[in-house]
Structure 1
Amino acid sequence: MTNSAKLQLDAIDLKLLSLLQADARIANIALAEQVGLSPSPCSRRVKLLESAGVVEAYRAILSRTAVGLSLTVFSGIRVERHSHENADSFVKAVLAMPEVVACHLVSGDHDFLLEVVVPDMATYESSVLRRLLALPAIRDIRTSFAMRSYKANGPLPLREGSRW
């Protein structure tokens, strides 16, 4: 567990986080100017947010189409029996699939919801779907395909004075 649950985020922290979500490569001097701090205290605050686990990582967000991953698939998975062993074996298998970019334990008709990115339908069927169907814990798979994405990888909606 990280220390983020214990860290009280103030208005400056939230502004820093919003700016970093928009541009993680922003120079510390520009970041400091935008939040009204000098560079040293700004840098210390960012390092504190990182060490507390509030900032988990920095990464580039790539164009899926530009790198040849033009099909986004959402797969609702139901496991055979609700047991820790089935769930654990399923999660372990899914974490080993690089095509699965998100996996959520959900309520409702499915137990898990996966977001999968692949070049095309044939790759999804021959690569991901076959591996999923081979897992003994899986009872049912319901698949939907994104026809167009209007918002993906969006920043988190941060609010001052509230941790939601």
Structure 2
Amino acid sequence: MKLDRIDRRILDVLQRDGRISNLDLAERVGLSATPCARRVKRLEDSGLIIGTVTLLDQSRLGLKLTAYIGISMDRHTPDRFDAFEAQVRDFPEVMECSVVTGQSADYLLKAVIPDMQHYERFLLGKLTRIPGVTGVHSSFELRRVVQNTVLPLDHVENDTEV
């Protein structure tokens, strides 16, 4: 599918306010309501829009600690990686998990937990019990400087095929 200037504007507005009404969205992007709704549906059907979420205040929920955790595995085999990934997907503390390169770790996790006591239980009771985990290196966030959920769209030119 091709994206034009209006599609990019729709995506930008929806990233910033997923609860905006179709009427308000149409007004912000310069369309009437029906063509705007059709475009949003087309963007959803194409897979560019994959969902809508509500962002919560982590700190006000008592999740005061953010940990970045490097995980090293004993073997680099598909079975070992699949088993690790299946287990870590079920941990509600894990916000992100990525396979990484250029570090001593095989995975980098971002986890949110209430405090160090809970982190210790998460580390010893869950992470280190996954078969194949041989090393864990944790760093803790002191202060968040940037938190952004809006993807940049400036590189997408008019009528770019996506």
Calculate the TM-score normalised by the size of structure 1: 0.91
Against the structure 1 CA distance between its residues 129 and 53, is the aligned structure 2 distance closer, same or farther, given a 3 Å change threshold? farther
CA displacement 1:40-79 (0-9 Å, x = unmatched): 0100110111121111111111110011111100001111
Q: 1:108 aligns with which of 96, 102, 112?
A: 102
| In 2: Cα distance, 1:8 partner to 1:104 partner | 29
RMSD: 1.6
Larger relative CO (CA 8 A, sep 6+): 1 or 2? 2
Where do residues 75-114 of structure 1 align in structure 2 (5 Å cutoff)?
75-109=69-103, 110-114=105-109
Percent identity between matched residues is: 41
* Worse-superposed segment, 146-155 or 136-145: 146-155
1:138 is matched with 133
Change (3 A) 1:48 1:131: same
Please give the residue correspondences for 1:8-157 in structure 2 after superposition, counting only pairs within 5 Å: 8-109=2-103, 110-157=105-152
Displacement of 1:163 in angstroms is 7.7
What runs of 5+ residues in structure 2 fail to find an aligned partner?
Answer: none
> Matched residues in 2 for 1:135 and 1:150: separation?
32
Kindly tell me the number of residue pairs found equivalent between the two proteins: 158
My pick for the range that moved more, 86-95 or 151-160, is 151-160
Flag structure 1 segments of 5+ consecutive residues without an equivalent.
1-6
CA contact (8 A) 1:78 1:139 kept: yes
Give SS of 2:126's match: helix
Report if aligned partners of 1:76, 1:141 keep a CA contact under 8 Å in 2.
Answer: yes
Q: TM-score, normalised by structure 2?
A: 0.92
